[in-house]
Amino acid sequence: MNQQETESLKDTVISVLKTIYDPEIPVDIWTLHLIYGVEVDTEGNVKIVMTVTAPNCPVAETLPAEVQVKVQAIMGVKSVDVELTFDPVWSIDMLSDEAKAELGLDGDYGSFSASDFLY
C-alpha cells in the first residue's frame, strides 16, 4: 500500500469513527475527542488510541470493542489494535465548539460548570 492509499484508508477509518456514538451523549466519539490517535501502516494495520468520558463509564468495555469491530470491517484493514487510555483524562474542555453547542453546553451556567452535566 502506498502513502496515498494509506492516507485514504486513514480517512475512511475516521469516517467510520464518526458513525460511532457514546450512548449516553448524542455526539459521535470523534467529535467528542475520545479518539486520541489513529495510525495506519502500509500493511493496513490500524492502531487507535482512545478514551471514554470517565474511568467508571458504563461503556468502557463495550465502546472500544465496537470501535474494533467497525474498523475491522473496512475493506483494506488487515488488523485493528484499540488501546484504551486515561492519559490524559478526558474533560469537557476537549469538546469542540460544535460539540458543546450540540450538547447545549455553550452558555452561561452560573455556578455550574459544563462538566456538571456529564458523568
- Please provide the DSSP assignment of 50-86 as one string: E--SSTT-TTTTHHHHHHHHHHHTSTT--EEEEEE--
pLDDT in tens, 57-104: 888 889 999 999 999 999 999 999 999 999 999 888 888 777 777 777
Angle at CA of residue 109, ends 108 and 115, nearest 5°: 120
Domains of the chain (ranges; CATH) run 3-117 (3.30.300.130)
Q: Distance of CA 77 to CAs 6, 16, 21, 63, 94, Å?
A: 10, 12, 21, 19, 29
Confidence of residue 53 (pLDDT cuts 50, 70, 90): confident
Task: Give the separation between CA 32 and CA 25, rounded to whole angstroms.
Answer: 9
pTM: 0.84
